[in-house]
């Protein structure tokens, strides 16, 4: 139903993630719930320092999702990704462990 691929990045305790929901499960809040649990797990169980996602600049559903969860828009990389025959502008969204704990009101 939902996949959340997580890749260990070059920097220590840093993870890049993505999220995909099957189309008929979209717009029900499932991605928000799954990502919240995933970020709790990455920061809580795995002591990650920074978690980020790279998202197509045109992907408004993904922007809303990440902003709703409290991730920060850190950059727009203009035509940085060659994908399916065209240059795509990417947005970087990120959150630090200390920010996530504050957002979630966790100790």
Ligand X SMILES: CC(C)(COP(=O)(O)OP(=O)(O)OC[C@H]1O[C@@H](n2cnc3c(N)ncnc32)[C@H](O)[C@@H]1OP(=O)(O)O)[C@@H](O)C(=O)NCCC(=O)NCCS
Instruction: 38-42: list long-range contacts, CB under 8 Å, 24+ apart.
Output: 38/4, 38/6, 39/69, 39/95, 39/100, 40/100, 40/104, 40/106, 42/6, 42/15, 42/17
Torsion, Cα of 61, 62, 67, 69 (10° steps):
110
Least CB distance from residue 26 to ligand X, whole Å? 4
Contact positions with ligand X (CB under 6 A) in 68-107: none
8 A C-beta contact, residue 90 and residue 26: no
* Residue showing the smallest CB distance to ligand X in the complex: 29
Give, as ranges, the residues between 9 and 68 that touch ligand X (CB under 6 A). 18-21, 26-32, 53, 55, 59, 61-62, 64-65
Q: Which is nearer to ligand X, 75 or 107 (CB)?
A: 75
Does an H or E element contain 51, and which?
strand 50-56
The reply to whether 3 sits near ligand X by the rule CB under 6 A is no
Q: Minimum Å distance from CB 107 to ligand X?
A: 26
Instruction: State the number of binding residues for ligand X (CB under 6 A).
Output: 18
Tell me which residues touch ligand X (CB under 6 A).
18-21, 26-32, 53, 55, 59, 61-62, 64-65
């Amino acid at each position: 139903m939902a996949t959340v691929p997580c890749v260990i990045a070059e920097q220590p305790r840093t993870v890049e993630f993505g999220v995909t929901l099957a189309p008929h499960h979209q717009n029900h809040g499932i991605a928000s719930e799954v990502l919240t649990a995933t970020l709790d797990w990455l920061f809580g169980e795995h002591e990650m320092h920074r978690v980020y996602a790279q998202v197509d600049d045109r992907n408004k559903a993904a922007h809303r999702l990440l902003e709703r969860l409290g991730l920060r828009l850190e950059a727009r990389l203009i035509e940085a990704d060659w994908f399916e025959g065209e240059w795509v502008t990417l947005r970087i969204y990120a959150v630090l462990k200390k920010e996530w704990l504050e957002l979630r009101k966790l100790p």
